[in-house]
């Protein structure tokens, strides 16, 4: 006997099978037509929320207005209004306030069953970034049986402004984090529509690098994102430091920053701010308001507190950072000298505890450069990833796979990337298997590493475990066996890198926090 459940399942599978084999797909807002090429279908510029313009500026994303006919999804949409680029050396993207669009890569040939999905969040420090960067193209992963999604979200003051007037007008008594609300809206779109593109809404991996990875850690701790993804990948980004070191992330403090920003533009109300052309918002004190805020709607507590209280969205995680993270963010390391080391450091960080600076000793200019790069690596990226590995593994319910990327790509000597080493961004060419996007002197070991890393990532997306045939074994990180996979020409597992200096950072943070790392709050 055919039950209603069987008929419904057959209907869903039939729609999925048709969609996967066709460049035309029906979404919940209308039909879209992608572009078929090289065994894939690519859909670019699909709206997932209404344009956040006019009165919708600084409001949660609203539903898309359905369209008639077939939307040609054949070109990328502009990125959010921004200044500069997210990666040195990249051309600036076209920008617009109308930026809430997504892109899908899917195999043209239908598979036997719906495919796992990766949703990628770009980095850029919440001030820049674009889903159209060629490096983020999902083509190579789609060829390995993964449906890939990238999307735009609001950055800078458009994405993160906090202001008391905005808080007052909000039904949720909050403001800020609009960029994260965009990310949630994109994930909800995926849940409603990805089956039509051949994807499985019950197997979604949320992934990101830098600010994209910080976004993943935020959404792991947001009640709004619960159930919208089932695995997480965080590459060189997190938000687990003590809030005491960054009081600006608290709503009331961020509101003061927002008022100061408005005054720096010569206006005194949200109505006046909404009337300013979007490009003119990148004036005055705009960088001061382009950051995460802990507020009652999307992020009601810090990610650290969410984890130690076991209120996070508990999913398997693949995480890690790179050996030379800060080199890509310092264009002139030769300017780091012993004579002005402490003064230069205080310009960036303010006064730091003496036990922290003593952990990075130096006696000459060469040692000073090495010390500064190591300190910035640990404070900005390394400690956060180590913290997440410990927090997620201590709960014991979901596996944690932790890496340390140490391979040096052949960055050309005459390029902005010269001398970067295993820097911030460096792993992206390998995990996306996009070496051929650059005409660099790739070696056989580069190509082997790209093949192995992309296989690890795809395996994790498919199975929640990166291991597979022909790959060096990647042990899960556990409190009893805190192992890390070193990604280089020779892949191997070992102890966590830089533990001596990370331990000093950890001790300082525990002192600031007033409790040992991971200690549960009183109930």
Catalytic residues: 210, 325, 424
Residue 243 CA to chain centroid, in angstroms? 20
Asked if residue 296 lies in contact with residue 173, where contact means CB atoms within 8 angstroms, the answer is yes
In a 10 Å sphere around its CB, with 0-12 CB exposed, 13-18 middle and 19+ buried, how is residue 500 labelled? exposed
SS3 241: coil
* Cα-based distances in Å from 167 to 261, 281, 315: 16, 19, 32
Strands across the sheet containing 70-72: 24-27, 30-33, 70-72
Instruction: Please tell me the distance from the alpha carbon of residue 494 to that of residue 509, in angstroms, as a whole number.
Output: 25
Q: Which two tokens stand for residue 196?
A: 């039509």
Coil, helix or strand for 284? coil
Q: How far is CA 218 from CA 120, 223, 348, in A?
A: 14, 10, 24
Cβ contact 57:16 at 8 Å: no
Cβ proximity of 101 and 48 under 8 Å: yes
Residue showing tokens 């382009």: 290
480 CB contacts (<8 Å, ≥6 apart)?
Answer: none
**What H or E segment, with its residue span, contains residue 457?**
helix 444-463
């Amino acid at each position: 006997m055919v039950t209603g459940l069987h008929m419904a399942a057959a209907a869903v599978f039939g729609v999925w099978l048709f969609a996967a084999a066709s460049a035309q797909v029906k979404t919940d807002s209308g039909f879209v037509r992608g572009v078929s090429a090289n065994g894939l279908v690519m859909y670019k510029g699909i709206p997932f929320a209404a344009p956040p313009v006019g009165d919708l500026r600084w409001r949660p994303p609203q539903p898309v207005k359905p369209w008639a006919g077939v939307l040609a999804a054949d070109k990328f949409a502009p990125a959010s209004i921004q200044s500069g680029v997210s990666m040195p050396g990249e051309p600036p993207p076209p920008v617009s306030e109308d930026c809430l669009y997504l892109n899908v890569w899917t195999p043209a040939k239908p598979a036997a069953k719906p495919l796992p999905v990766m949703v990628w969040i770009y980095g850029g420090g919440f001030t820049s970034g674009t889903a159209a960067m060629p490096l983020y193209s999902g083509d190579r992963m789609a060829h390995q049986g993964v449906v890939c999604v990238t999307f735009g979200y609001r950055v800078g003051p458009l994405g993160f402004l906090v202001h008391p007037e905005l808080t007052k007008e909000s039904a949720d008594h909050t403001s800020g984090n609009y960029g994260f609300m965009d990310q949630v809206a994109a994930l909800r779109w995926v849940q409603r529509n990805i089956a039509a593109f051949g994807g499985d809404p019950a197997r979604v991996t949320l992934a990101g690098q830098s600010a994209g990875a910080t976004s993943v850690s935020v959404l792991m701790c947001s009640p709004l994102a619960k159930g919208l993804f089932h695995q997480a990948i965080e590459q060189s980004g997190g938000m687990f430091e003590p809030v005491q070191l960054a009081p600006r992330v608290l709503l009331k403090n961020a509101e003061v920053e927002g008022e100061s920003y408005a005054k720096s533009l010569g206006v005194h109300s949200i109505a006046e701010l909404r009337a300013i052309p979007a490009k003119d918002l990148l004036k005055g004190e705009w960088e001061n308001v382009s950051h995460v805020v802990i507020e009652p709607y999307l992020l009601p507590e810090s990610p650290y507190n969410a984890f130690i209280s076991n209120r996070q969205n508990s999913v398997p995680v693949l995480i890690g950072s790179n050996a030379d993270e800060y080199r890509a963010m310092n264009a002139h390391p030769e300017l780091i000298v012993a004579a002005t080391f402490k003064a230069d450091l205080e310009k960036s960080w303010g006064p730091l505890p003496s036990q922290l600076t003593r952990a990075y000793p130096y006696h000459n200019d060469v040692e000073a450069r090495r010390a500064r790069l190591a300190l910035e690596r640990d404070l900005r990226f390394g400690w956060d990833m180590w913290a997440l590995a410990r927090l997620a593994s201590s709960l014991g319910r979901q596996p944690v796979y932790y890496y340390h990327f140490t391979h040096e790509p052949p960055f050309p000597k005459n390029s902005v990337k010269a001398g970067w080493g295993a820097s911030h961004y460096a792993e992206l060419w390998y995990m996306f298997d996009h070496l051929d996007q650059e005409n660099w002197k790739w070696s056989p070991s580069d190509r082997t590493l790209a093949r192995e890393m992309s296989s690890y990532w795809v395996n994790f997306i498919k199975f929640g475990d990166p291991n597979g045939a022909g790959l060096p074994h990647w042990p899960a990180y556990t409190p009893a066996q805190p192992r890390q996979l070193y990604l280089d020409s020779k892949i191997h597992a070992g102890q966590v890198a830089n533990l001596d200096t990370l331990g000093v950072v950890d001790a300082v943070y525990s002192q600031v926090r007033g409790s040992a790392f991971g200690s549960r709050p009183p109930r």
